[in-house]
């Protein structure tokens, strides 16, 4: 495991004035980075097609609500657009990359900067874990409940195919995880084709142990959704949970996939920011 210390900033000691600060202005990039912890590992899981009010307080999502209670809930988190696929590109690369539908893309169609390429250029580690992907590095369009539209890394020529793993390759020794990884459930377990209860149980069963470990091992779990159910102005649930997230915290400042990407970049100490993440602000006010 990489050994990195939490950056202590005077404002962080004051709790960033909690909800009053929310997201800092985009201009103070140095100050933003200083206000954030430096986790050893970040795992991001992306669920599907549900609005914030379909998850928050729902008896069908007990585990996700437990994560909210023990972590942070971004109460004004929003997707970028509809349908699904452009949101994945926005979250991973700060741009929809001209993708406007859910059709399979030509693998490696873009050489644009993205989170994976930024991490690797900085000498850091990156990987994705894709449920029902037939084999590591496979850029197949669709296979059973696996869909390429939820795996944007395959669209970039600067992200090696081998960094896309199957879910079975997700390690049980979490110290061997990449510094940043995305976990993508299949079309049933992400709540796209199956009920909220299915997805909630899937997160608990597949990432619950990591979440518990992250609380004591300088690491972070992010659970977000691609888009809502087309009924709530693309208002989606986003939850952060880990050692340096203040339990029960929240921010009511509006944020999007671009803010989440910017925060991921700054949490890992990157000096570059992809596309719209460059002008987005970090998520603050939730760190302990």
Q: How far apart are the first and last CA of the chain?
A: 22
Question: If you average pLDDT over residues 232-255, what whole number do you get?
Answer: 97
What is the pLDDT at residue 25? Answer: 33
18 part of a folded domain: no
CATH number of the domain encompassing residue 210:
3.40.720.10
The whole-angstrom separation of Cα 116 and Cα 272 is 12
Give the number of domains in the chain.
Answer: 1
269 part of a folded domain: no
The whole-angstrom separation of Cα 177 and Cα 199 is 23
| pLDDT grade for 11, boundaries at 50, 70 and 90 | very low
35 part of a folded domain: no
271 part of a folded domain: no
173 part of a folded domain: yes
| pLDDT grade for 2, boundaries at 50, 70 and 90 | very low
DSSP 177: S
What is the pLDDT at residue 35? Answer: 85
pLDDT tens-digit map of 133-172: 999 999 999 999 999 999 999 999 999 999 999 999 999 9
236 part of a folded domain: yes
Are the C-beta atoms of residues 102 and 151 closer than 8 Å to each other? no
Report percent pLDDT > 90 for the chain: 87
Are the C-beta atoms of residues 177 and 41 closer than 8 Å to each other? yes
The whole-angstrom separation of Cα 200 and Cα 20 is 31
Are the C-beta atoms of residues 106 and 283 closer than 8 Å to each other? no
Are the C-beta atoms of residues 86 and 99 closer than 8 Å to each other? yes
Say if residue 6's pLDDT is above 60: no
| pTM across the whole model | 0.89
pLDDT tens-digit map of 22-53: 333 333 444 445 489 999 999 999 999 999 99
Range of the domain at 127: 48-247
| pLDDT grade for 10, boundaries at 50, 70 and 90 | very low
As a whole number, the mean pLDDT across the chain is 91
185 part of a folded domain: yes
233 part of a folded domain: yes
């Amino acid at each position: 495991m990489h050994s990195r210390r939490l950056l202590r900033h005077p404002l962080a000691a004051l709790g960033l004035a909690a909800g009053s600060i929310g997201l800092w202005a985009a201009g103070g990039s140095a100050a933003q980075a200083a206000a954030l912890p430096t986790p050893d590992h970040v795992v991001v899981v992306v669920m599907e097609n549900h609005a914030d009010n379909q998850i928050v307080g729902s008896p069908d999502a007990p585990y996700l609500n437990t994560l909210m209670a023990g972590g942070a809930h971004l109460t004004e988190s929003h997707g970028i657009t509809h349908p699904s696929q452009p949101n994945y590109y926005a979250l991973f690369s700060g741009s929809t990359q001209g993708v406007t539908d859910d059709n399979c893309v030509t693998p490696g169609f873009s050489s644009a900067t993205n989170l994976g390429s930024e991490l690797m250029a900085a000498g850091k580690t990156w990987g994705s874990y894709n449920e029902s992907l037939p084999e590591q590095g496979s850029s197949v369009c669709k296979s059973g409940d696996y869909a390429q539209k939820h795996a944007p890394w395959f669209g970039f020529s600067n992200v090696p195919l081998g960094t896309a793993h199957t879910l079975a390759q997700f390690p049980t020794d979490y110290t061997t995880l990449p510094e940043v990884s995305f976990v993508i459930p299949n079309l049933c377990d992400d709540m796209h084709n199956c009920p909220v209860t299915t997805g909630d149980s899937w997160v608990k069963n597949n990432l619950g142990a990591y979440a518990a470990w992250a609380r004591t091992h300088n690491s972070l779990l992010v659970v977000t959704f691609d888009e809502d159910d087309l009924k709530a102005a693309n208002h989606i649930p986003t939850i952060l949970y880990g050692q340096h997230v203040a339990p029960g915290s929240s921010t009511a400042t509006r944020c999007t996939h671009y803010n989440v990407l910017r925060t991921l970049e700054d949490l890992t100490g990157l000096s570059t920011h992809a596309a719209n993440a460059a002008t987005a602000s970090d998520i603050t006010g939730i760190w302990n």
